[in-house]
Amino acid sequence: MNKTIETIKNHRSIRDYKSKKIDEAILNEIIIAAQSMPSSINGQQLSIVVIQDKKTKTLIAEHAGGQPWIAKAPVFLLFITDFFKTNLAAIKNGVTQKIHESIESTLVGAVDVGLSMGAAIIAAESLGLGIVPIGGIRRDPQAMIDLLKLPEMTFPVAGLSIGYPNSPSDKKPRLPLNTFRHDESYHKENLESDIDNYDVLMSSYLKTIGRSQEGNWSSRTSSVYKKVYFPNVLPVMIKQGFDNNK
Ligand SMILES: Cc1cc2nc3c(=O)[nH]c(=O)nc-3n(C[C@H](O)[C@H](O)[C@H](O)COP(=O)(O)O)c2cc1C
């Protein structure tokens, strides 16, 4: 349809990078693209910590549960929800910020980070770079906060590894479009059979790429979602000031 949409539709996560550095001008363009996204009430309650130091990336790779591609990629962007900045606005105006005590701020922060990271992904991929988002940084959020000196009223939401792809990866098939696009109201009639069909497709895709041990979509997803896999998120969020109780 056009180049932008082609770039988006061609997305696949990359976990194997060349050692080639990313020019500062290119990196800055990606970050400006990320900052250009809309934000709730124009509050701009998000920030990006740019990490290029090898030692810091290696520590993050460990905190994320052992993800070597974080250390290998030349750049790691940490997207944080940032109500510290909006609190400075509150102080300047002589009022007490309350929103960070509400679960609404968690949603606002996550949505704004998601939009911004999406733009960074598209910008990077349009420039021939490869990326993989990293939610694994929420495995030990306190370690990320200490390592990167994140102030109160901030929280590390997700990271993004960026680098030049060393080897291409296959494009992962998605669930059928009708499980995603619901016209006029939610349609659940065919979901179970669509999931059955997608499981068959995913299991043959995983066989092709040598990862048959992962089973299929429903077996993998249910094995992850049968437990609270990052139990430190809530206590650390509360410690940072995000009470999430109203
Ligand atoms: C918010 C988010 C967090 C993710 N966290 C990780 C992660 O910690 N480690 C990883 O290797 N991949 C991670 N991924 C990548 C997903 O596994 C990947 O996007 C998904 O399997 C679809 O594959 P594709 O991106 O190649 O289409 C994450 C993706 C998103 C959107």
For residue 96, tell me if it sits in a domain: yes
Answer yes or no: is the C-beta of 67 below 6 A from any ligand 1 atom. Answer: yes
**Under 8 Å between Cβ of 240 and 154:** yes
Mean pLDDT value across the chain: 97
Tell me the best of 7, 13, 79 to mutate to test the pocket of ligand 1, counting ligand atoms within 8 Å of each CB and taking the most: 13
Q: What was the pLDDT predicted at 179?
A: 98
Is 133 a pocket residue for ligand 1 (Cβ < 6 Å)? yes
Instruction: Report in angstroms the alpha-carbon separations of 179 from 43, 188, 195, 217.
Output: 33, 8, 9, 14
Query: From the CB of 13, is ligand 1 less than 6 Å away?
Result: yes
Report if residue 32 sits inside a domain.
yes
Indicate if ligand 1 lies below 6 Å from the C-beta of 136: yes
Asked if residues 45 and 86 have their Cβ atoms less than 8 Å apart, the reply is yes
pLDDT for position 215? 95
Q: Is 132 in the pocket of ligand 1 (CB under 6 A)?
A: yes
185 in a domain, yes or no? Answer: no
- Would 134 be classed as within a structural domain? yes
Mean pLDDT of 160-175: 95
Q: Is the pLDDT of residue 168 over 90?
A: no
Alpha-carbon span 230 to 240, nearest angstrom: 16
Residue 207 inside a domain? The answer is: no
In a domain, 63, yes or no: yes
We report the CATH number of the domain holding residue 107 as 3.40.109.10
Label residue 1 by pLDDT band (50, 70, 90).
Answer: confident
Angle ∠(45,120,136) on CA atoms, nearest 5 = 75
Question: In which band, very low, low, confident or very high, does the pLDDT at 210 lie, cut at 50, 70 and 90?
Answer: very high
Does ligand 1 lie within 6 Å of residue 239's CB atom?
A: no
The count of domains in the chain is: 1
Structural domain containing residue 89: 3-170+230-240
Residue type, 143: A
Domain membership flag for residue 76? yes
Ligand 1: nearest atom to the Cα of 69: 11
Ligand 1 close to Cβ of residue 160 (< 6 A): no
How confident is the model at residue 178, as a pLDDT? 96
Instruction: Please tell me the distance between residue 71's alpha carbon and the centre of ligand 1 in angstroms.
Output: 16
Beta carbon of 10 within 6 Å of any ligand 1 atom = no
Asked if residue 127 is part of any domain, the answer here is yes
Ligand 1 center to residue 14 CA distance, Å? 10
Instruction: Write the pLDDT tens digit of every residue in 68-90.
Output: 999 999 999 999 999 999 999 99
Q: Which of 83, 72, 78 is nearest to 135 (CA)?
A: 78
236 Cβ neighbours under 8 A, 6+ residues apart: 141, 142, 145, 155
